Structure 1
Amino acid sequence: MNISDELQATIGDMVDGRRGILAADESSGTIAKRFASVGVESTEEHRRFYRSMLLGTEGLGDYVSGVILFEETLGQKDDRGRPLPEVAWGQGIVPGIKVDKGKGPLPGAPGDMITFGLDGLEERLQGYREQGARFAKWREVYPVSPCNPTQLGLAANAEMLARYAAVCQSCGMVPIVEPEVLMDGDHSIERSAEVNEVVWHEVFHALHRHGVVLELMILKPSMVTPGKECAKAPPEQVAEYTMRSLRRGVPAAVPSINFLSGGQGPEEATANLNALNQLWHAPWQLSFSYGRALQEPALKAWEGKSGNAGRARAALHKRARLNHLAMLGEYEESMEKES
């Protein structure tokens, strides 16, 4: 099988109109904060047990087609000694890997950020493939202020995403391209729409320059929402602004748009995804790639106690199923009360 066929096979396994992606790629610092919220110390064994518990959820593969793993997790095993990528694929869930190395200030563009990790990426990807990963993810973040993102910030971040995506495809790994417009701040939903549109335009210009095949990638963008210091927008408004901006900035060749939750609560993220799929027919699959919005109920149910694994898995299964229904535009708020 040549590289193009490998990429197409992965897209075929991940994009089916009914399933989304579980983001379980929290950095060491982020997972420590999540664990601390339920009184759990972030040891390697706790992280291994927690993530293997999630991947061992019976029926998860009915609603989740891919899982983004942290580098540490890719090499870990479940209690039966099975590598976690094998546990995922045993349910038809394609294992993937976060490959960026975190972010820092962008020199020359005060307030903007840039993500690190291109050095040695090709060699790392080859190693990740040998461990079972079939796709990768890279995140660039865009703070919103009256002055940000700057033109330099827009160009530099788009260039990083495009270079990463081109390397992935050359190695037979499907790239997930994640340009996250941050919710931090008091900006309006109109300002959010303006920023998202210009970000997506810049990103796709860069992807074209680098020869990235759009049919063999997945976009993981923000939804268009007001800043978190403002009142929340109703799902119908989020859907309207998001869809309008997507139609202006994202080519129809992209097979799937898997939204990040970006600070939204579990029920909020599901309701917004449902509204998007009810609005009108889109040229892309509109799906999810949620981290906290899928995991938060499971984490609270677990509390670091192995005896709570069943409850935690049930909580994850419920959220995955409700987001599957939201992809079909069939979610209703009353479903949240179902056991």
Structure 2
Amino acid sequence: MKKQQMEKMRNGKGFIAALDQSGGSTPKALADYGVTKEAYTTDAEMFDLVHEMRTRIIKAPAFHSDKILGAILFEQTMDRKIDGEYTSDYLANQKGIVPFLKVDKGLVDEKNGVQLMKPIDDLDETLKRATERNVFGTKMRSVIKKANKDGIQQVVEQQFEIGKRIIAAGLVPIIEPEVDIHSADKEASEEILKKELLTQLNLLRDDESVLLKLTIPSNPGLYQELVDHERVVRVVVLSGGYSRDEANRKLKDNKGLIASFSRALSQDLNAKQTEDEFNQSLETAIDGIYDASVNKTP
């Protein structure tokens, strides 16, 4: 199955759905979905509700491998079940969608214009459990706020250092050094980031490959060299705070990039929608994101 999943990720048409809101961002995700804090009193109840939301999305008819290549899960979601199967197995077996797992533990405070990842103390145990759950790959996020070369170098080096441990465990890492879309020097940050990514990619062995998850660049085509790099399975982009329409429009201008959207995927979904309303809203979102991922501006 791993070989087939790698082929799908390298050459398939579609995008990656990000369903990996963590403990810190779950209340906002639920609020956007129309579930207020009055609906739960404990973290356990909150996570039950967000799993219901994710289950509803995953089980929807439009959420299918025809347009969705992979899905990124939060750790608790991986450990929960849908119709008797672990979520990652349900995605692979019932939907034909490649499962990924978010493994980072959040960010430290900003220094040198960036936010590095917090230590992932239980990484080895998490990767072992992910392998048991038949997860294909992982995702971990850092944030770049200023065009500080030293800071950006630290971000990329940390990402690849952990990425190599993930590869050694038999999984494929998604390297995600997000550039803040509100950064005053976003373009300069992206130029530095590209150089640092190429440096680390060129140090990988022939049997080491990664996905890259990046902010949509201000200059269309900037990341083409990354798309074409032999150690890169795929370059995907996050919506990063753009509306879905704006993110789709910007994505269309970038040949070779595909989406990995979270908020932009679910922004029109609501707990109070009927099944028909919910499914139609999700289908509209999926169709638009798929179109932006596969059909590019000439």
TM-score w.r.t. the length of structure 2 is: 0.87
Q: Does 1:114 align with 2:110?
A: no
Q: Does 1:30 align with 2:25?
A: yes
**Residue pair 1:197, 1:248 contacting (<8 A) in 2 also:** no
SS of 1:115 mapped into structure 2? coil
**Residue pair 2:220, 2:253 contacting (<8 A) in 1 also:** no
- Structure 2: distance between partners of 1:142 and 1:214: 29
Unpaired segments ≥5 residues, structure 1: 226-240, 278-284, 332-339
**Residue pair 1:59, 1:91 contacting (<8 A) in 2 also:** no
- Structure 1: distance between partners of 2:214 and 2:113: 20
Q: Does 1:216 align with 2:209?
A: yes
Kindly provide the amino acid, as one letter, of the partner of residue 269 in structure 1. A
Partner of 2:249: 271
Partner of 2:86: 83
When residues 311 and 68 of structure 1 are mapped into structure 2, their CA distance, relative to the original with a 3 A threshold, is: same
Partner of 1:55: 58
Partner of 2:191: 197
- Structure 2: distance between partners of 1:15 and 1:248: 16
Partner of 1:228: none
Count residues with an aligned counterpart. 286
**Residue pair 1:21, 1:68 contacting (<8 A) in 2 also:** yes
1:212 is displaced (CA, Å) by 5.3
When residues 135 and 150 of structure 1 are mapped into structure 2, their CA distance, relative to the original with a 3 A threshold, is: same
Deviation per CA, 1:185-206, whole angstroms, max 9, x where unpaired? Answer: 4x2xxx4222112112113313
**Residue pair 2:9, 2:233 contacting (<8 A) in 1 also:** no
SS of 2:260 mapped into structure 1? strand
Q: Does 1:101 align with 2:105?
A: yes
SS of 1:263 mapped into structure 2? coil
Q: Does 1:21 align with 2:16?
A: yes
Deviation per CA, 1:76-135, whole angstroms, max 9, x where unpaired? Answer: 123x333222221111111110011100125xx444311123434233211111122111
Q: Does 1:92 align with 2:96?
A: yes
**Residue pair 2:89, 2:133 contacting (<8 A) in 1 also:** no
**Residue pair 1:266, 1:294 contacting (<8 A) in 2 also:** yes
Q: How does 1:1-339 map to 2 (within 5 A)?
A: 6=2, 8-37=3-32, 38-41=34-37, 43-60=46-63, 61-78=65-82, 80-89=83-92, 90-105=94-109, 109-144=111-146, 149-185=147-183, 187=184, 191-209=185-203, 211=204, 213=206, 216-225=209-218, 241-243=219-221, 245-247=222-224, 252-253=229-230, 254-277=232-255, 285-298=256-269, 302=270, 304-305=271-272, 308-329=274-295
Kindly provide the amino acid, as one letter, of the partner of residue 86 in structure 1. D
Query: Taking every aligned residue pair, what percent have the same amino acid on both sides?
Result: 24
Kindly provide the amino acid, as one letter, of the partner of residue 36 in structure 2. V
- Structure 1: distance between partners of 2:35 and 2:21: 17
**Residue pair 1:181, 1:196 contacting (<8 A) in 2 also:** yes
1:314 is displaced (CA, Å) by 2.4
Kindly provide the amino acid, as one letter, of the partner of residue 150 in structure 2. L
SS of 1:276 mapped into structure 2? coil
1:288 is displaced (CA, Å) by 0.7
- Structure 2: distance between partners of 1:194 and 1:71: 34
1:327 is displaced (CA, Å) by 2.5
Deviation per CA, 1:157-206, whole angstroms, max 9, x where unpaired? Answer: 11111112111111111111111100124x2xxx4222112112113313
1:74 is displaced (CA, Å) by 0.5
Deviation per CA, 1:205-226, whole angstroms, max 9, x where unpaired? Answer: 13434x355873211111124x
**Residue pair 1:271, 1:326 contacting (<8 A) in 2 also:** yes
Kindly provide the amino acid, as one letter, of the partner of residue 171 in structure 1. A
- Structure 1: distance between partners of 2:105 and 2:254: 32
Kindly provide the amino acid, as one letter, of the partner of residue 8 in structure 2. D
When residues 120 and 82 of structure 1 are mapped into structure 2, their CA distance, relative to the original with a 3 A threshold, is: closer
Partner of 1:238: none
**Residue pair 1:165, 1:212 contacting (<8 A) in 2 also:** no
Deviation per CA, 1:224-279, whole angstroms, max 9, x where unpaired? Answer: 24xxxxxxxxxxxxxxx131x214666532232111110110111112222324xx
- Structure 1: distance between partners of 2:11 and 2:226: 23
Kindly provide the amino acid, as one letter, of the partner of residue 72 in structure 2. I
- Structure 1: distance between partners of 2:289 and 2:58: 17
TM-score w.r.t. the length of structure 1 is: 0.77
**Residue pair 1:11, 1:216 contacting (<8 A) in 2 also:** no
1:311 is displaced (CA, Å) by 2.1
Kindly provide the amino acid, as one letter, of the partner of residue 162 in structure 1. F
